[in-house]
Amino acid sequence: MTEKTILVVGTYDTKDDELGFLASVIGDQGGRVLTMDVSVLGDPSTPTDYSKHDVAEAGGSSIRAAIDSGDENTAMQIMAHGASLLTARLHRMAAFDGVIVLGGTMGTDLALDVCSGLPLGVPKYIVSTVSFSPLIPAERLAADTQMILWAGGLYGLNSVCKASLSQAAGAVLGAARAAQIPDPDKPLIGIMSLGTSALKYVIPLKPALEARGFEVAVFHATGMGGRAFESLAEQGAFACVFDFCTQELGNHIHGSSISAGADRLTNAGARGTPQIVAPGCYDLVDVVGWQPIAEKWSDHPKHAHNRLLTSIVLNTEERRQVARAHSKQLADADGPVAMILPERGLGEWDREGADLHDSAGLAAFLAELEATLPAHVSVHRLDSHINDRAFADKALEIFDRWCADGIVSP
């Protein structure tokens, strides 16, 4: 088995023993280690591969500037900026195969930046005293970040924290060994969706696209799925996107914590990637089902999907707000954009006769969206429901025309 190299990041002035233990476990398992010190005031017991000076300078600053700031938050942000840029540069140089970062709240703040600066698929592990804590907002988590609680981890090593550290060390090395690199020669299509209880178009689309020689990756629009989709879109990983469930955008503008971030529906356009878009489940805002529902939703119909997730049904004006948000997000797209607007509904629960059907709300949303979309977006009204075969056929018709015109390359 080819040896894998793990980048170990932390404040070596205060956590030298713990970071050294991580490195020793990785080494005992046959892995190699690169070390990066993100301290400010002190120094490690032995030199690291990348010093705190290297880190600060990578971000265009210096340790002296961090110290002279007189503020621990400012100092750590200097180090976080430098560490994320240096780590990304080292990854482009193929210097390591996975990264593990250890810290308390300060180190975790830095770790989130480091992991977010790396592409999807690079093993990323954070050992933190606040793993899984509500202190960590979803939008700061790289979509494939792994976390483990640094239990009993203050003031040195003990058997409790060694249990956490050793698992994390083994996990990141195992992930680096097991990771499979995507085939760059096979063009990839990204599709956004939800489960088949709500959206069903993937059932005909996936085999049809695969028969045309494309690989298909389907992302679940529950916040982190959208983040993964946008991360890959930002990297230019897709030949084309079928962004048919934009519900996370509504979640975001209406204040739900189930958000894919403020850049939802922007990154494919920024890269010039062709986009076929439909606002699937636009009428719902998902909220955490086990938490108290905000007072502003008290008079809205609700759909309890399970014990984790509840969907709020938007009123007409709230739907218009979602329509305008779509138009705003697509305004700066450099590549071609086709918007398909099924006139009979955009989710299984809003079909005619279904519990959440609202023909007036749907009509108002479609009218607002069509009126506000930028001129470069081609609009395709369709007398069907999003889950009807006619919708998938229309998407494939647009896609095939783009392939024939060389807009999408097989």
- Domain of 67, CATH number, reads 3.40.50.12020
Q: How many residues does the chain have?
A: 410
From 178, 207, 229, give the residue that closes a domain. 178
pLDDT at 181: 75
Question: Is 117 within a domain?
Answer: yes
362-372 pLDDT per residue, tens: 999 999 999 99
Q: Which regions in the chain score pLDDT beneath 50?
A: none
> Are 214 and 287 within one domain?
yes
Does one domain contain both 263 and 392? Answer: yes
Asked if residue 409 is part of any domain, the answer here is: no
The tens digit of pLDDT for each residue in 141-151 reads: 887 899 999 98
What is the reported pLDDT for 121?
A: 87
Which CATH number characterizes residue 219's domain? 3.40.50.12030
- At 96 the three-state DSSP class reads coil
Q: How far apart are CA 342 and CA 349, in angstroms?
A: 14
pLDDT given at position 38: 98
Which of 140, 159, 178 delimits the end of a domain? 178
In this structure, are 169 and 193 located in the same domain? no
**207 and 352, same structural domain?**
yes
Give how far Cα 263 sits from Cα of 246, 268, 329, 376, 403, Å. 12, 10, 8, 19, 27
Regarding whether 171 and 71 lie in a shared domain, the answer is yes
CB neighbours of 23 closer than 8 A, spacing ≥ 6? 8, 33, 35
- Asked if 302 and 321 touch (Cβ cutoff 8 Å), the reply is no
Do 148 and 239 lie in one domain? The reply is: no
Helix, strand, or coil here: 133?
coil
Residue 52 shares a structural domain with residue 146: yes
Amino acid at 222: T
Question: Are 23 and 106 within one domain?
Answer: yes
The pLDDT assigned to 24 comes to 97
Residues 273 and 141 in one domain: no
E runs forming strands in 22-164: 32-37, 98-103, 124-128, 145-149
54 and 110 fall within a common domain: yes
Domain count, the chain: 2
**Both structure tokens of 274:** 């062709």
Cα 350 to Cα 130, 177, 243: the distances in Å are 40, 46, 19
Q: Quick one: DSSP state of residue 14?
A: T
Structure token digits, residue 303: 């759909």
- Among 126, 155, 178, where does a domain finish? 178
Domain range for 13: 5-178
Given this model, what pLDDT does residue 154 score?
76
pLDDT given for residue 86 in this prediction: 98
Q: Is residue 410 part of a domain?
A: no
